[in-house]
Structure 1
Amino acid sequence: MIKETEIFSYSFDPAYSKPVAYFSMEFAVDQPLKIYSGGLGFLAGSHLRSAYEKKQNLIGIGILWKKGYYDQERNQDQTLRVSFRDKDYSFLVDTNIIFPITIHGARVYVKAFLLKPEVFKTAPLFLLTTDIQENDYLAQTISHRLYDPNETTRIAQSILLGVGGAKLIDVLERKTDIYHMNEGHALPMCFYLLDKFKDLAEVKKRVVFTTHTPEKAGNEEHSVPLLNSMSFFSGLTLKQVDEYIQPENGILNYTLSALRMAKIANGVSQLHGEVSRKMWGDYDDICEITAITNAQNKTYWHDDVLDEALQQNDDAKIVTRKKELKHKLFRVVANQTGKLFDENVLTLVWARRFAAYKRANLLLMDYNRFLKIVQNPKYPIQIIWGGKPYPEDFGAINIFNEIYWKTKDLPNCTVVTGYELWLSGHLKKGSDLWLNNPRLYHEASGTSGMTAAMNASINLSIPDGWIPEFSKHGENSFIIPTANDLLTQESKDKLEANALLDLLENEIIPMYYERPKEWSKIVKRSMQDVLPFFDSGRMASEYYEKLYKH
């Protein structure tokens, strides 16, 4: 049996000694470990890094995705191609722990690997796999693809994370006071605990829940008979399921069920906390929903030279370093696209997961006006898009391809592939402006702008997610005016696209070239204001104070 001293390489700070297990479908801890898709993973990775820095008694539990999310490549005509390749990681420790769980009435064996703290400076992370010879091929595929499009495979993945993770804790004989579900994917854990303790009050004592999205697609739901046939409920009868979580019309919503089985939950920004209370507040028997604003790990994301220049209040040093970082980014861009960008030109980046509500193509809505701005010789601008659509989201893939086709002949606009931690770091460090233009109230938090701000990139954003807690227009960021809520979505998109172009054309671009001191003042204020509040050290502490000790 693996001992606690073999799991942790540090002794705990007494303030954080309560033992916690943090369940997440994805973790982005470092570039080589490709078990994440986007913001949820970036957030979970930063949480583990800060838990390590704070010496918290917390372990992560996730899944060792054999093929990762996917590898983003290009077809012959440069449009997006999705590739799946097997991944191997020599830095993971084989714990030699194998145990059975039940999926679809059948025995499936689970093997646990451990990412030790010293490898990437994170809290210990256990990763579960079914891709072992003890299982038949179908069972092996459960841990192949993050967010598999097949409905029954997705359900099996939740059982693997929730039941497999909870059972691993029992096998390890690790005392665990708090089971933290990062999003609803690990919900079967609650039914495992209910079967173990035979009392919902005992489950609620131990479970806390973080909800991450107001998007329907992010609040997973399936029919109760299907979930029952998949062994989702750990042996509970349908009568008991009905009694405990009151599924509506035979459909079980993961988020709503988690709110009924946890002692406390949180949204991931103050605004998202409000949105979540409005979304779920009319339902019976849900727990309190508070808010803990997401954050990112400064140690991982920041640039030492920029930090030093800020402390010395050295504008020239910030500008010089920024040009060096832009040069590094532009080498990546040139290598991928054959386009050579200029370090002296204002550079705007839109980079995040491609989803319809994030509106990657908002800049292009009035295409003629867009062309007028990007072809203005007096005030040049360079624009880079990056991000991974869900591999079966053909609408989002079409947006990616549309942007490519509309910008391919423009030497100062391009789309890059492979938006993972490494490229994300380059884009944040090498951008002057970080564009975030989701439909209002659809972005729960959106943390990419935090790490951009740490690296002297100014946020240009819709006032959604974390932004209202940070931004002061013209002082530390630029805010895109939003349209009236009562308008149709099409009208809102059009008005907000015009507002974005107005802001760029009339305020931002002229300031960059004509009033560099003013620009520099905003850059420095942004860097100062983003820390320490939006460093995940504050967030990791708040989880202990607001959720775990509750």
Structure 2
Amino acid sequence: MSHLHSYEIDEKYSKSVAYFSMEFAIHQALKIYSGGLGFLAGSHMRSAFDLNQNIIGVGMLWSYGYYDQSRDEDRYLKVEFRRKRYFFLKDLDVSVTVNINSIPVIVKAFLLPSNLFSTAPMILLSTDVEENDYLSRTITHKLYDANNETRIAQEIVLGVGGAKILEALNLEPEIYHMNEGHSLPMTFELYRKYKNLEEVKKRVVFTTHTPETAGNEEHDINLLEKMGFFSEVPLEEVRNITGITSDRFSLTVGALRLAKIANGVSKIHGEVANEMWNYVENKCKIISITNAQNRRYWADKPLLRALDEHEEYELDARKKHLKRQLFDEVANQTGKMFDENILTIIWARRFAEYKRPGLLKYDLERFNKLITNEEYPVQIIWAGKPYPFDAQAINIFNEINYMARSYKNIAVLVGYELDLSMKLKKGSDIWLNTPRVTREASGTSGMSAAMNGAINLSIADGWHPEFCKEGINSFTIPTETRNLSIEEQDRIDNKNLMDVLENKIIPLYYDNTKEWLKVKKNSISDVIPAFDSGRMAHEYYELMYKYQN
């Protein structure tokens, strides 16, 4: 498979793999991602390059990306869709036809060469080509289009189009890896080719990222058939091989029945997934491979060097320098001047209700005391992109934005993409994570933050319990609230969060600099190598790709 690779394949990783994902966060200049799923896939592709693995990424070339996040004239969130052009991609000069809603749609392939951003080579698919009619061209316009049928069409292009493009390029991967259920149509295309369920299963592995039922996509099975989701496999046969008898077709259930093995993305999530899909008969085994992030890309080299050489003064000075760089961005966007000597708390990730961006300010009176305390000052930054059609998430963003107007030490930033994410992680003292418990599959942003000397303060969910040594490398917000009402959960979690901040973290930062430095050093040392994606990319080969069921 290696004529697309710019590197020699390592014998250990010679099994050929095609890694299908709806989004990849590879570089600031390539805007084909929305959030955590893309960040994870991007780190996987970087580590595949670092380890010389025989992997090819298969993704989508989104003409308008996810969306451009800016501000309107009143400084509220503004969603803009601007066409992107990428002159650094190579036209592979290959196209295939995929039937969508009985219309032949041309899918064209572009290559992101592996030496460009030091990743595995990546094939990106587009229907936005002259040969297609306008409607077909819009399929690859916007990542996660709000229109249900467009979403289904996108999945058909990724799954069926991706499999056909590989064939047209004479690439025959031994393993097809579905990162989330979006690329499921690929399994039906394989079934159409091999006409044998076992032949499909031995080639397919599946990663699930969603620990909540609502996030696991379901569609009307007749609509899927009409649109070509099953790649011309007759409906009776689809029901037969997936065991789905109802008219609601769950992509995750389909994937669990058509893969040889599946994984959750943290130990907790592996358990949650096994519990969640317990009722599914004849599903494949679900193990866990904890997500990770690529150190080469994310970690600040001078910071790591200072740590290695035990230069404590240098470590501290470098961290302050990184904070200043972030604060230039804060000043540029908000006109507020932050101070690198003040404790800086950051909440930055996709804005979604279950991640509770506003938990910190739940008790406004107590929050106001925290923000106006001059003896122990803090600075707080929020950043993140809500889904552009999620009114609730956009309202939360705007509400925090409105509140920030009253304080010179609170900033809300827009344009949360790879570059801003990097600045925030490098300039953060406390990386705050507040999801409702069991709703976070992994939460990888805390890993790249820890690599840069940020200290995690998180709910005990996702990867955090695997990493956290309480008070030694990070802090946990205690939660005993699983069975309570949402209102009550938020009240108690907020109280616990504020207690940890006021009683442990703030005094540590100001009154015990030596101990603070120790926690910061432990945060960096402990996150590497356990949560560097080299470990993860290796485990996928050993535990998934080589797995014989």
- Structure 1 partner of 2:183: 186
- Structure 2 partner of 1:532: 529
1:20 counterpart letter in structure 2? V
Name the CA distance, whole Å, in 2 between partners of 1:166 and 1:216: 28
Equivalent residues of 2:2, 2:54 under 8 A apart: no
Name the CA distance, whole Å, in 1 between partners of 2:338 and 2:482: 39
Picking from 349, 354, 358, the partner of 2:351 is: 354
Query: What is the deviation of 1:483?
Result: 2.4
1:185 counterpart letter in structure 2? H
Correspondence 1:496 to 2:478: no
Picking from 211, 216, 234, the partner of 2:213 is: 216
- Structure 1 partner of 2:229: 232
- Structure 2 partner of 1:413: 410
- Structure 1 partner of 2:158: 161
Matches within 5 A, 1:383-462: 383-462=380-459
Query: What is the deviation of 1:526?
Result: 0.8
Picking from 86, 89, 92, the partner of 1:89 is: 86
Name the CA distance, whole Å, in 1 between partners of 2:336 and 2:142: 33
- Structure 2 partner of 1:257: 254
Query: What is the deviation of 1:186?
Result: 0.1
Name the CA distance, whole Å, in 2 between partners of 1:492 and 1:185: 32
Name the CA distance, whole Å, in 1 between partners of 2:214 and 2:130: 34
Name the CA distance, whole Å, in 2 between partners of 1:408 and 1:314: 39
- Structure 2 partner of 1:27: 24
Equivalent residues of 2:62, 2:141 under 8 A apart: yes
Name the CA distance, whole Å, in 1 between partners of 2:481 and 2:410: 31
2:19 counterpart letter in structure 1? Y
Q: Which moved more, 1:472-481 or 1:234-243?
A: 234-243
Matches within 5 A, 1:127-166: 127-166=124-163
- Structure 2 partner of 1:522: 519
2:520 counterpart letter in structure 1? V
Name the CA distance, whole Å, in 2 between partners of 1:156 and 1:9: 32
Name the CA distance, whole Å, in 2 between partners of 1:115 and 1:239: 39
- Structure 2 partner of 1:289: 286
Correspondence 1:545 to 2:545: no
Q: Which moved more, 1:349-358 or 1:480-489?
A: 480-489
- Structure 2 partner of 1:266: 263
Equivalent residues of 2:2, 2:9 under 8 A apart: no
The runs of 5 or more residues in structure 2 that have no matched partner are none
Query: What is the deviation of 1:407?
Result: 1.6
2:307 counterpart letter in structure 1? L
Name the CA distance, whole Å, in 2 between partners of 1:484 and 1:229: 44
Correspondence 1:345 to 2:342: yes
- Structure 2 partner of 1:36: 33
2:462 counterpart letter in structure 1? G
Query: What is the deviation of 1:180?
Result: 0.1
Name the CA distance, whole Å, in 1 between partners of 2:214 and 2:540: 26
Correspondence 1:371 to 2:345: no
101 and 318 in structure 1: CA distance in 2 versus 1, 3 angstrom threshold: same
Name the CA distance, whole Å, in 1 between partners of 2:63 and 2:214: 24
2:145 counterpart letter in structure 1? D
Matches within 5 A, 1:1-150: 4-5=2-3, 7-150=4-147
1:302 counterpart letter in structure 2? A
Name the CA distance, whole Å, in 1 between partners of 2:69 and 2:476: 31
Query: What is the deviation of 1:285?
Result: 1.1
The runs of 5 or more residues in structure 1 that have no matched partner are none
Query: What is the deviation of 1:4?
Result: 4.3
CA deviations 1:3-28 (Å, max 9, x no partner) are: 943x1111110000000000000000
Correspondence 1:276 to 2:273: yes
Name the CA distance, whole Å, in 1 between partners of 2:211 and 2:390: 18
1:432 counterpart letter in structure 2? D
Equivalent residues of 2:95, 2:165 under 8 A apart: no
Equivalent residues of 2:239, 2:245 under 8 A apart: no
Name the CA distance, whole Å, in 2 between partners of 1:162 and 1:72: 29
Give the match's secondary structure for 2:292.
Answer: coil
Query: What is the deviation of 1:305?
Result: 1.0
Equivalent residues of 2:481, 2:492 under 8 A apart: no
Equivalent residues of 2:79, 2:388 under 8 A apart: yes
Picking from 330, 333, 346, the partner of 2:330 is: 333
* TM norm structure 2: 0.99
Name the CA distance, whole Å, in 2 between partners of 1:240 and 1:308: 58
Name the CA distance, whole Å, in 2 between partners of 1:232 and 1:311: 52
CA deviations 1:374-428 (Å, max 9, x no partner) are: 1000000000000000000110000000101112120000100011000000000
Query: What is the deviation of 1:249?
Result: 2.8
Query: What is the deviation of 1:430?
Result: 0.4
Q: Which moved more, 1:239-248 or 1:129-138?
A: 239-248
* Count of aligned pairs: 547
1:44 counterpart letter in structure 2? A
Q: Which moved more, 1:247-256 or 1:470-479?
A: 247-256
Query: What is the deviation of 1:215?
Result: 2.7
Picking from 168, 171, 184, the partner of 1:174 is: 171
Q: Which moved more, 1:321-330 or 1:244-253?
A: 244-253
Name the CA distance, whole Å, in 1 between partners of 2:245 and 2:296: 45
